[in-house]
């Protein structure tokens, strides 16, 4: 992924600081983010966290944790 690929795109940040770009990892369309996500001691759980109109349940692009 090019670091500048999502410049100017809004971000979704959850309690705890996990930050995502609300774009489907499969098709690149914008998605509807879930109200909350699951995490564990090592980070964000690997489970769908958004809904895409084309792909249905999917994953957003994870950027990391912000403080």
pLDDT given at position 6: 86
Task: Reply yes or no on whether the pLDDT at 20 is more than 70.
Answer: yes
pLDDT given at position 4: 64
The DSSP line for the chain is --TTTTTT---EE-TTSEEEEEEETTT--B-EEPS---EETTEE-SS--EEETTTEEE-EEEEEE--
Average pLDDT over residues 34-49: 88
Q: Rounded to an integer, what distance in angstroms lies between the CA atom of residue 39 and that of residue 14?
A: 11
């Amino acid at each position: 992924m090019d670091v500048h690929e999502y410049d100017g795109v809004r971000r979704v940040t959850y309690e705890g600081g996990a930050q995502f770009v609300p774009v489907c990892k499969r098709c690149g369309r914008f998605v509807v983010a879930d109200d909350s996500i699951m995490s564990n001691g090592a980070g964000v759980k690997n489970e769908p966290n958004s809904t895409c109109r084309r792909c249905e349940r999917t994953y957003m692009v994870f950027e990391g944790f912000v403080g």
